[in-house]
């Protein structure tokens, strides 16, 4: 069946070139360590623990508001991470330096995300001109509308399925089914596009959707069955070669 609707993941797919966000954030810490050498200690398992702590804290506590754009979200997340790292003795910074470092890391990561979003905007426009419709299916904090507006992507997604709103998260196939339902077409008419093999490709495939895996740098590098996705890409513009 010829696909008519593209079900896009957001984080990692449209805003980081298929690099897991822990790597992008760590780049921000390393860049800022040129000014604040204490941040050089942020690496390895210590960093991963801080990243996971930040993710869980934002998921469990009402820290992110619906009006927060991505730069604001980043600032809140980094503040939680740095508090964790300071309390654990990994990083020694004054309150003033910590505030300045938080701003610098957030700016670095926001600029990185904006570059990828700018690229995504042109690709989405081309795909829309080719007649495709879009649905966004994302694990997010309840502020994805504000994030999309800030990056100029909101107009592409009249239908959004956001985990914090619908109460189900990837890798549960149910969140992808909600995306298919929003499209109001058969699953076989949908193509799910995402950077996570386990959270995007496997569940969408199980529902009968076609899939395009944006292969990049995942949280854990594993060997996957690359015959399962309909297509595999390593750069977002390659979508245009497969979606004619």
Of 212, 209, 234, residue with least CA distance to 1: 209
> 5-19+114-242, what's its fold?
Rossmann fold (3.40.50)
pLDDT at site 221: 80
Q: Are 149 and 67 in contact (CB under 8 A)?
A: no
Each residue's pLDDT, cut to its tens digit, for the chain (244 residues) gives: 688 999 999 999 999 999 999 999 999 999 999 999 999 999 999 999 999 999 999 999 999 999 999 999 999 999 999 999 999 999 999 999 999 999 999 999 999 999 999 999 999 999 999 999 999 999 999 999 999 999 999 999 999 999 999 999 999 999 999 999 999 999 999 999 999 999 999 999 999 999 999 999 988 888 899 999 999 999 999 999 999 9
pTM to 2 decimals? 0.95
pLDDT at site 32: 99
What Å distances lie between residue 32 and 38, 69, 82, 123, 172, CA to CA? Answer: 10, 22, 13, 31, 37
pLDDT at site 222: 86
Q: Where are the domains of the chain?
A: 5-19+114-242, 21-111
- For residue 203, the tally of other CB atoms under 10 A from its CB is 23
Of 16, 85, 12, residue with least CA distance to 45: 85
pLDDT at site 27: 98
């Amino acid at each position: 069946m010829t696909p008519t609707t593209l079900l896009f993941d957001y984080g990692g797919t449209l805003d980081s070139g298929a690099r897991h966000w822990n790597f992008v954030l760590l780049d921000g810490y390393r860049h800022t360590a040129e000014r604040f050498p204490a941040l050089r200690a942020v690496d390895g398992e210590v960093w991963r623990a801080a990243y996971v702590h930040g993710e869980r804290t934002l998921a469990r506590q009402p820290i992110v508001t619906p009006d927060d754009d991505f730069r604001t979200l980043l600032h809140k997340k980094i503040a939680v991470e740095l508090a964790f790292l300071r309390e654990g003795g990994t990083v020694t910074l004054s309150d003033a330096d910590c505030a300045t470092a938080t701003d610098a890391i957030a700016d670095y990561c926001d600029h990185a995300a904006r570059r990828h979003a700018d690229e995504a905007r042109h690709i989405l426009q081309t795909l829309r001109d080719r007649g495709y419709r879009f649905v966004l299916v994302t694990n997010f904090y309840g502020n994805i509308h504000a994030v999309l507006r800030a990056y100029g992507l909101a107009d592409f997604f009249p239908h959004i399925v956001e985990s914090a709103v619908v109460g189900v998260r990837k890798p549960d196939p149910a969140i992808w089914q909600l995306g298919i339902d929003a499209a109001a077409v058969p699953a076989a008419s949908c193509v799910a596009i995402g950077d996570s093999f386990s959270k995007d490709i496997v569940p969408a495939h199980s529902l009968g959707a076609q899939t395009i895996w944006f292969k990049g740098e995942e949280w854990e590098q594993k060997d996957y069955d690359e015959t399962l996705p309909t297509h595999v890409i390593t750069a977002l513009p390659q979508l245009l070669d497969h979606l004619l």
